[in-house]
């Protein structure tokens, strides 16, 4: 293990250096400059080859050249960011094969930060939610094994339905370790749930658990249902929503910000990676106040929706700063059956704010009380079908109702600020 880590570190250094040298070589106009960078690259190649030869000849165990090279590639990609990776042929094949009905999951979204597995969110009613996993929990061990590689962790966590997996987590908020046993199951959820008029108010409430096929259409139907009850405000709950299908998130955002407006754009090093995504969903203009709830478990597509609504001034974002997971990965097949998953671009809000690793900061910051968190965890353990029809009015929802009420009271005197002209460019 120590050997492989050392090799990966060395390989990462080598390849990154080679990458920098090549990039610089493309920008240098003088032949002397190109010659210098080429010589530096050859020197690093020579060192790398020397180390490989040293390992093959002197390492305590015999290691094949194939294992050395594949290990070096894995280390190189993983050194870039938590989402880039080298996929060996067998792993790439697994990704391509439809495993519906054969494998179970836990209903958990995870990433790697500083070589530690971090929980983004646990979907309600799933095994991960039932054992009480929360955003920012650190997964230390899986079945007694320490794993710091995202895809090794995914492979370890997935498995046949009704089989068990044990994990050890560390919860930073209370600085405690927990040993948890989960049973894998087939994950299937409804994405738009808890559609209702909040008790003793004229405020509608819609919760979107994740963005999947049909989410936007279900959202529109739910919104039309609430509008038929003459709502005077709307709360959209994106807390613990880890994202999902970007196109569905863009359609939901389009309902809120209007047709043909910029929702999000990507920016990378190559021209084809710079793409603007505009709303195409046709829906009548929304005249009542809208509040979107976010927390540390809101990521990716949730952040795209919240960022677009915030930039276009079509609603208030309330809660806590979101997770900050918004980058584009391209899957590039290689001739030997392996593949590279490479981060090629990042998402930006319409006004040009970087989402990745920064998150969306709320307009109104409201943190849940300890009591609210306990109740919220209890609700997460149940599927929407298992819960009562009443929505638990936690501190963030109550504050959202207050914001909507105050907005309605002052709406006649308030002048609407026109959107930034840069948004439609």
Region of 145 on the Ramachandran plot (φ > 0 left; ψ -120 to 50 alpha; else beta): beta
Q: Is 173 known to be catalytic?
A: no
Q: What is the pLDDT of residue 226?
A: 97
Q: Is 325 known to be catalytic?
A: yes
How far is residue 381's CA from residue 128's CA, in Å, rounded to a whole number? 8
Q: Is the distance from CB of 73 to CB of 7 less than 8 angstroms? A: no
SS3 of residue 196 by DSSP: strand
Q: What is the pLDDT of residue 97?
A: 52
Q: Which residues contact 167 (CB under 8 A, 6 or more apart)?
A: 139, 140, 141, 142, 143, 157, 179, 180, 182
Q: What is the pLDDT of residue 158?
A: 85
Exactly one of 194, 237, 311, 394 is catalytic; name it: 311
SS3 of residue 384 by DSSP: coil
> What pairing do the DSSP bridges indicate for beta strands 262-268 and 339-348?
antiparallel
DSSP of 207-264, one letter per residue? EE--B-TTHHHHHHHHHHHHHTTT-SEEEEE-TT---B-HHHHHHHHHHHH-TT-EEE
* Residue that the structure tokens 């962790």 belong to: 153
Radius of gyration in angstroms for the set of CA atoms belonging to the chain, rounded to a whole number: 24
Q: What is the pLDDT of residue 96?
A: 66
Which structure tokens are listed for 200?
Answer: 């003793």
Count of CA atoms in the C-beta half-sphere (13 A) of 208: 34
How far is residue 239's CA from residue 321's CA, in Å, rounded to a whole number? 11
Exactly one of 300, 322, 327, 338 is catalytic; name it: 300
Q: Which residues contact 85 (CB under 8 A, 6 or more apart)?
A: 74, 77, 78, 150, 151, 340, 341
Exactly one of 277, 325, 338, 394 is catalytic; name it: 325
Give the pLDDT means over successive 10-residue stretches in the chain (425 positions). Answer: 47 48 46 70 82 88 87 87 86 60 75 87 90 94 87 84 95 94 88 92 95 94 96 96 92 95 95 94 92 96 97 97 91 92 94 96 95 84 70 92 93 54 48
Q: Which residues contact 130 (CB under 8 A, 6 or more apart)?
A: 182, 381
Q: What is the dihedral of CA 403, 405, 409, 414, to 10 degrees?
A: 30
Q: Is the distance from CB of 266 to CB of 274 less than 8 angstroms? A: yes
Q: What is the pLDDT of residue 53?
A: 86
């Amino acid at each position: 293990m120590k050997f492989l880590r050392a090799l990966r570190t060395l390989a990462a250094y080598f390849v990154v250096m080679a990458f920098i040298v090549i990039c610089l070589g493309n920008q240098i106009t003088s032949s002397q400059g190109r010659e210098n960078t080429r010589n530096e690259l050859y020197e690093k190649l020579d060192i790398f080859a020397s180390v490989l030869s040293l390992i093959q000849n002197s390492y305590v165990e015999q290691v094949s050249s194939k294992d050395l090279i594949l290990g070096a590639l894995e280390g190189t990609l993983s050194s870039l960011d938590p989402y880039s990776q080298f996929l060996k042929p067998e792993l790439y094949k697994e990704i391509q094969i439809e495993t519906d009905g054969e494998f179970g999951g836990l209903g958990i979204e995870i990433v790697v930060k500083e070589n530690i597995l971090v929980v983004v969110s646990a979907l309600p009613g799933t095994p991960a939610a039932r054992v009480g996993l929360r955003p920012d929990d650190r997964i230390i061990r899986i079945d007694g094994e320490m794993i710091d590689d995202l895809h090794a962790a995914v492979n370890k966590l997935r498995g046949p339905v009704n089989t068990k997996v044990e994990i050890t987590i560390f919860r930073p908020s209370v600085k405690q370790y927990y040993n948890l046993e989960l049973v894998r199951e087939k994950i299937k959820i409804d994405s738009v749930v808890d559609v209702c008029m909040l008790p003793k108010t004229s405020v509608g409430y819609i919760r979107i658990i994740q963005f999947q096929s049909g989410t936007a259409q279900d959202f529109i139907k739910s919104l039309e249902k609430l509008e038929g009850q003459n709502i005077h405000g709307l709360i959209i709950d994106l807390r613990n929503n880890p994202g999902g299908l970007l196109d569905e998130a863009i359609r939901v955002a389009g309902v809120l910000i209007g047709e043909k407006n910029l929702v999000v754009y990507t920016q990378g090093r190559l021209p084809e990676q710079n793409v603007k995504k505009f709303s195409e969903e046709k829906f009548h203009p929304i005249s009542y106040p809208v509040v979107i709830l976010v927390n540390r478990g809101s990521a990716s597509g949730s952040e795209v929706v919240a960022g677009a609504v915030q930039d276009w001034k079509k609603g208030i974002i309330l809660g806590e700063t979101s997770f900050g997971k918004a980058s584009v990965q391209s899957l590039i097949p290689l001739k030997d059956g392996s593949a590279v998953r490479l981060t090629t671009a990042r998402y930006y809000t319409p006004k040009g704010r970087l989402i990745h690793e920064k998150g969306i900061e709320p307009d109104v910051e409201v943190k849940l009380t300890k009591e609210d968190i306990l109740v919220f965890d209890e609700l997460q353990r149940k599927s929407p079908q298992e819960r009562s029809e009443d929505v638990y009015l936690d501190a963030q929802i109550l504050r959202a109702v207050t914001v909507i009420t105050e907005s309605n009271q002052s709406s006649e005197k308030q002048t609407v600020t026109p959107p930034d002209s840069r948004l439609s460019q």
